[in-house]
A and B are shown apart, each in its own frame.
Chain A
Amino acid sequence: MPKVPTDDPNIYEVFAQSGQSTGLNHVGSLVSPRPEFAWHLAKETYGRRDDLVNLWVTRRADLIVSEPADRGLLAAKTRMPHRQPGFPTARRRDRSSAPVASADPQADRAVADDPAGHRRPDDEATTARRDLGAARGPELSDLWLALADDLFVLGNRLGAHITDYIDLEEALAVGSIGQEAVAHAGTILLLCGFDQAAVDAWFFDRRHEQWQVSRALERVLDWPSLVAGGLLIAAAVTVLADETLGLEPGAAHLPPIAAIRQEQQVHLEHWRRLAQALTTWPETAAEFGLVHARVTEYGGDLFGAVPQGIASGALPTGPAPVAQLHERLAALIEQDGVPTSRLPASPQQRAVGRGGSALAESLNRGRSVRDGYAAGVFR
């Protein structure tokens, strides 16, 4: 976590720029007993040799600095490769070296429907396995799959709210949280053994009736409900990630789960700061209290996934400790410091194919371009 590195008011950090084409560089620090000496001492200490164009001095106690543990969060290139200019280029290159797609849409459909190549969400075998699983209760992977639905829906809502202009810096944070939520949804499916085409089929070709979105996200359409919903989903993902990380320490699937956990922890803290602001600000307190109560009341289903009979892939197998997870979620929500939580005492089952007409409409819009194209065109 970023921190203020010292409370010693006499230490100063020095930044110098030696030419117009280079930026300011950190060149060192010094001790100055009085603030009005600091810049002059810096000039004598660090500015004796070069022709400087700029010399800036600031108190170390006024800095907020990253720690080594923050490095993962700072590795933007690694975490979000789709933001790099090289990403679309590499996509095209990979694709042109792949077998040429047939020009006949029907033939393409046949390829896409090949069960060996693509996992499909709606085949009969899946339904049969789902019935079998329902009797046994959900596995860990079922819980993850349901949370992937939540993350995908939430991430897309956040994407649309980048331009809600609560403030510009906040808009950018919302953009990152949205992209990460959508990325996490995809990673979860990959961990469950999907390939990228199957990920797309899952999020874009599945009918509304097959989604298991938490009721907490049903009416997440304005700012207070996004804050409350974001808070709740981040808490649930954090709890489930902790559980998963504790089961098979050292297993191969752990790094992506650990990365998801680290980013969701950041989301959780982000939403907590906003929830605090909305709770303590007189103008918004009552409204946010109502919204938060509604969202948490509906959030009882976060670990109530209905088994889908999808193999667990790289994730650990075995029944999920739903009641314990729910308890841990409740404990985590306590720490938010928002007094209006109405999370039910025990977990509720998710409703399959619900999520309100707003959800159905947005899923349909998501298919509208895709449906006009032969299968396999969009990647």
Chain B
Amino acid sequence: MPTATTAGHRYYELWDPMPDDVREGARRFATVQALNELVGVLQYVEWLDRAPSHTRRQMLMAKIQDEVGHGHVVARVAEDLGMPREQILVDYLEGRLKIHNIFHYSFQTWEELGPGLLLTNSAAIQQFQSLAKGVYLPYSRALRKVEREESFHYQHALDLTHEILTHGDATQRRRVQQGFELWLPRILAYLGPPDTDTLHGNRMWQVGMKPDGNDAVRQAWLTKIIPVFRKLGVHVDPSLVSQAPSGEWQFAQPDWAATKKIIANGGPSSQRRLDYVRRVLDRNAGYRRALRGVA
């Protein structure tokens, strides 16, 4: 018996009998998300010791801690479904799991950080709000906790961007503009290939794990975030993204072949991320055993 039934879907707790596709899907979603939280955070860690004021450093450290916290809550969901947390990072190192395209890059300047984070956070919020409607309740609860923290990250990113646009000089403000233009196509790609025509054939949609298609999430995200950038004073060039009279957003299709290569550890920081994870796992293995008291 499922725990509850609404709108044609059944909702499941961990110990409810459930279709294999739901269990498998939930494990895969939680596993992939855990990996991306745990590795994606390294992008921000690289900037922690350059955060330029006491409060900034506190806020960035809070964000880093939260991201690892997101990794933790979804890793717990995955563990309960049979995916041990160590295995997630090992599978990444051994090529069985991949991180999203956006985490294969590093921020080149402090000014790029604000718009990059703002785009990433808002897209993640949009996606989590959608996935939280899914039928596996422990994952939905984890996502709601994550979402609440993402709203702090969103405000933090807005603040970072606003600070430079208001108080920075012309060069610094221009780098914010460039950061926006650099990251927008990456996030468009991050939200996945067009699926309007294929969504209903997607098994995860059928079992209620993927409530919305990539296009719906992408459109909803653009509707929210583009006005935010305009209000900040960032120029949104129509060649990047523009809104049709119907309200639909149009944009240059990401280069999906190139995106695929990046995801296959072919991005500028792919090797650096792998090296970092391998290094911390190796050097801390003994301490981890001491902490757990298990050889």
Contact = CB atoms under 8 A, between A and B. Distances in A.
Interface of A: 20, 53-54, 80, 82-89, 91-92, 101, 103, 105, 155-156, 159-160, 162-172, 175-176, 178-179, 182-183, 186, 196, 199-200, 203-204, 222-224, 274, 277-278, 281, 283-284, 362, 365-366, 368-370, 372-374, 376-379
**Chain A interface secondary structure, helix, strand, loop or mixed?**
helix
Given A84-B152, A163-B42, A92 B62 contact: no
A182 B168 contact: no
A368 B50 contact: yes
B58 to A, nearest CB: 5
A91 to B, nearest CB: 6
A277 B58 contact: no
A183 B48 contact: no
A87 B65 contact: no
Contact of A166 (B89, B152, B156, B284): B284
A37 to B, nearest CB: 21
A163 B64 contact: yes
Interface residues of B, number: 64
**Chain B interface secondary structure, helix, strand, loop or mixed?**
helix
Interface stretch (B97-105, B238-246, B285-293): B285-293
29 contacts: A20-B11, A54-B3, A83-B62, A85-B155, A88-B152, A88-B159, A159-B61, A160-B48, A162-B45, A163-B276, A164-B280, A165-B277, A166-B287, A166-B288, A167-B291, A171-B65, A171-B68, A171-B72, A172-B68, A172-B72, A179-B61, A179-B65, A182-B58, A182-B61, A203-B54, A277-B290, A284-B287, A362-B49, A379-B55
A165 B280 contact: yes
Contact of A182 (B3, B41, B57, B172): B57
Interface centre among A175, A278, A284 (most CB of B within 10 A): A175
A20 B172 CA distance: 49
B52 A166 contact: no
A119 to B, nearest CB: 14
Contact of B52 (A175, A196, A277, A378): A378
Contacts of A365: 49-50
Pick the 9 closest A-B CB pairs, nearest first: A175-B65, A88-B159, A281-B290, A370-B52, A168-B72, A378-B53, A378-B52, A377-B167, A85-B152
A302 B50 CA distance: 27
A118 to B, nearest CB: 14
A236 B48 CA distance: 26
A75 to B, nearest CB: 16
Nearest to A96: B166
A7 B290 CA distance: 29
A85 B268 CA distance: 32
Interface in B49-100: 49-62, 64-66, 68-69, 71-72, 75, 85, 89
Contact of A170 (B57, B85, B291): B291
A343 to B, nearest CB: 24
Nearest to B160: A88
B272 interface: no
Contacts of A366: 49-50, 52
Contacts of A168: 38, 68, 71-72, 75, 85
Interface string B139-183: 000000000000110111011001100011100100000000000
Nearest to B283: A222
A105 B167 CA distance: 10
A159 B48 CA distance: 8
A163 B55 contact: no
Contacts of B291: 166-167, 170, 274, 277
B281 interface: yes
